Amino acid sequence: MENKCKVIALANQKGGVGKTTTAVNLGVALAKAGKKVLCIDCDPQSSLSRSCKISDDPDSLDVTLSELMEYEMTGEDKDYILFNNTVQQFENIDLIPSNISLSGTETALFNCMSRESVLKRTIEPFRKNYDIILIDCMPSLGMMTINALVAADSVIIPCEPSFLSVKGLDLLLHSIAKIKRQINPSLQIDGVLMTMVDSRTINAREITGALREAVGLNINVFNTEIPRSVRATECPNVGKSIFGHDPGGKVATAYENLAKEVIGLERKAQVRPRPHGLR
């Protein structure tokens, strides 16, 4: 039976563009829409784990993504820790946390066979249990981000409407194209997601418009834009998603709309044209 699970990496080498916020809130929005969702914290800074209040001190966790990847690299039997100690719950999604030990794992990857695909092999057993897996990448184009892009079926690129954020897209798009060409030919870009948008400012409107014009012919730019909101910035402090903290607000509505777009892309990808001449 074909596995219908879709793995989506949330990637941008620039920090502070809303990757973690999107991982949490898109994950919860997809779960509200009926999808079984797993989020993976692929950043040694543990931003996703901390935002979801998995632990007051993620560095004290016994089993995280780092341990799973190290078991994969050494070839040891990981079934016990895989299914009994790793997955945490947050609202209506599951989560694999990370901590600072992931930095050591990234260094160890350089001496590992097939180092670019360790994460792909690590998360493969989880695919049968979920409809969508979201990978929250670290703000770099290092080995962990490469692993995430190799493991992913597609990429969502959160992008703040600022000059530096938009200029940095070229490097990321080049890296995605290289990985697609050399390692993961099925990798697709679901789209660029504009985050922290203040539509009241001329600068934000101009940059967003210029981005849509520049890349829109070749790369999808989501119709949904995530607005800038004080309520959204409060969520990590209270350990809730935007749906738990401000369910009737504009950010919650935006992530619900984004989830609909993502599900629409998933359905479209599953529709395959019949070969010519077949009925």
Tokens matching residue 210? 């210029």
- Taking phi first (over 0 means left), then psi (-120 to 50 degrees means alpha), and beta for anything else, what does residue 126 get? alpha
Positions of E strands within 143-260:
154-159, 188-194
Domain membership of residue 134 (yes or no) is yes
Domain membership of residue 1 (yes or no) is no
Domain membership of residue 56 (yes or no) is yes
Domain membership of residue 279 (yes or no) is no
Q: What is the pLDDT of residues 193-237, one digit of tens each?
A: 999 988 778 877 888 888 777 776 788 999 999 999 999 999 999
Instruction: With beta carbons less than 8 A apart as the criterion, state whether 220 and 191 touch.
Output: yes
- For residue 52, give the 3-state DSSP assignment: coil
Domain membership of residue 276 (yes or no) is no
Tokens matching residue 28? 């919860």
Assign residue 108 the CATH number of its domain.
3.40.50.300
Amino acid 275: pLDDT: 46
* Segments forming the whole domain that contains residue 36: 6-269
For helices 19-32 and 250-270, the axis angle rounded to 10 degrees is 70
In the chain, the number of structural domains is: 1
Domain membership of residue 184 (yes or no) is yes
Tokens matching residue 262? 């993502």
* Cα 95 off chain centre by: 12
Domain membership of residue 49 (yes or no) is yes
- For residue 86, give the 3-state DSSP assignment: coil
pTM for this predicted structure = 0.91
Strand partners, 95: 39, 88
Query: pLDDT of the chain along its 279 residues, tens only?
Result: 456 899 999 999 888 889 999 999 999 999 999 999 999 999 999 999 999 988 778 888 888 999 899 888 887 665 655 555 788 999 999 999 999 999 999 898 988 888 999 999 999 999 999 999 999 999 988 899 999 999 999 999 999 887 777 777 888 999 999 999 999 999 999 999 999 988 778 877 888 888 777 776 788 999 999 999 999 999 999 989 999 999 999 999 999 999 999 998 877 776 655 444 444
Residue 143 and residue 118: Cα distance in Å, rounded?
A: 10
Domain membership of residue 277 (yes or no) is no
Residue 152 and residue 120: Cα distance in Å, rounded?
A: 8
